[in-house]
Amino acid sequence: MMELQDGAELCFPQLFNMSCRKPTRRWSETVLLKLLLFFISLTTIAINLLVIISVSHFRQLHTPTNILILSLAVSDLLVGLVLMPGEIFRSTSCWIFGDTVCTLYWYVAGQTLTTSISTIVIISCDRYTAICYPLHYSKIITLRRAKYCVCFCWLCSFVFTIFYMRVELIQPGTGNSCFGECVLKYNYITVTVDIIVTFTFPVTAIIVLYMRVFVVAVSQARAMRSHITAVTVHHAVTLSKKSELKAARTLGILVIVYLSCLCPYYCYSFVDVNMKNHTVAIFFAFLFYFNSCLNPLIYALFYPWFRKAIKLIVTLQILQPGSRETNIL
């Protein structure tokens, strides 16, 4: 009873009629796949921790935009800490942790990914206000309001995920067809609602906002090139505008990368609701998750303050008294 007729082993041989089959990859392929994916997971955890420590520690970085970046880094950290290892285990081994842990895993996945896309929308609104209404930005977007937006974002994601997974939360394991797997049961209604709430509406809002930001940013850049003045006040305004434009460009790249990782997964989930092609589903899921590793790398490439913060953290200078007041910008 240890093997089926086609040579595939069972996850739980004692439950012959109810057990799932073990993944059929070769041992060498499984080891290489696990090493690669765990390396990506550890990298995601490490660099997002650096973002969290940087924004949390240095007082100069306590700005509305960075509070939103902090929220995104927390959700990305959860992806590297929970979702990636869970997906690695699901795709290369039998699920041995039971239905309750499986349901908890899917809940964290829903909460994290919904919060992530919501935070991207709020970041887009922040950049839209900063570029299109620069004179009113400091009054409209305050540190307190940014914190409220982050809390509201996590709360809405919490409520939506509970509603989306209400059947699974009441009766864990309803999506599993056999012992040894951890899947979430889908149908076209839930997938359609999910695509509208967590994909269509947010992506439409992001694209519309950034198209507006791009048009205004180009016009402002042309204005700055054609009106060069030596007056100190005007020079300060020009530097401020350049800073805002750079932030908009950086976060625009972040959004483009995010959509590039997000769209294939949602398009495939709409075509194949139950993810019958396991290999393709795993690939698109990890492409989705891999975005959490790319976000901090974008900060490192375009934000000098992040590179400086990393140096201070790695050399343990943040442990010195008064390091919170360091000039990091």
What DSSP letter does each residue of 177-227 carry, written as one string?
SSBT-------HHHHHHHHIIIIIHHHHHHHHHHHHHHHHHHHHHHHHHH-
Among 104-113, 116-125, 261-270, which stretch is predicted with the lowest mean pLDDT? 261-270
| pLDDT one-digit tens code per residue, 242-291 | 555 665 666 677 778 877 887 887 777 767 655 555 677 778 888 888 88
The token pair that represents 241 in the structure block: 């505008």
The answer to whether position 266 is within a domain reads: yes
Task: Give a yes or no: residue 6 inside a domain.
Answer: no
The total domain count for the chain is 1
Residue 326: helix, strand or coil by DSSP?
coil
Q: Could you tell me if residue 111 is inside a domain?
A: yes
Residue 201 counted as domain residue: yes
Is residue 113 one of the residues assigned to a domain? yes
Confidence at residue 17, expressed as pLDDT on a 0 to 100 scale: 72
15: pLDDT strictly greater than 50: yes
Q: What is the mean pLDDT of the chain?
A: 79
For residue 21, the 8-state DSSP code is: B
The CATH number of whichever domain residue 88 belongs to comes to 1.20.1070.10
Instruction: Give mean pLDDT, residues 45-63.
Output: 90
Q: Characterise 98 by phi-psi region: left (phi > 0), alpha (psi -120 to 50), beta (else).
A: left
| CA distance linking residue 181 with residue 31, whole number of Å | 20
SS3 per-residue string spanning 124-154: HHHHHHHHHCCCCHHHHCCHHHHHHHHHHHH
**How far from the centroid of its chain's Cα atoms is residue 253's Cα?**
14
97 is a domain residue:
yes
Do 324 and 59 contact (CB within 8 A), yes or no? Answer: yes
237 SS3 class = helix
pTM confidence score: 0.82
Decide if 107 is inside a domain: yes
Q: Residue 318 is encoded by which pair of tokens?
A: 């943040």
- Range list of H helices, the chain: 27-57, 64-78, 84-92, 98-132, 137-140, 143-164, 166-170, 188-195, 201-226, 232-271, 278-302, 304-314
- What pLDDT band is residue 179 in, cutting at 50, 70 and 90? confident
Q: What burial class does residue 269 get, using C-beta atoms within 10 Å of its C-beta: 0-12 exposed, 13-18 middle, 19+ buried?
A: buried
Is there a domain that residue 328 lies in? no
Whether 154 has a pLDDT exceeding 90, the answer reads yes
Give the structural domain span for 88.
26-301
Contact predicate 80/292, CB 8 Å: yes
pLDDT tens sequence across 126-137: 888 888 888 888
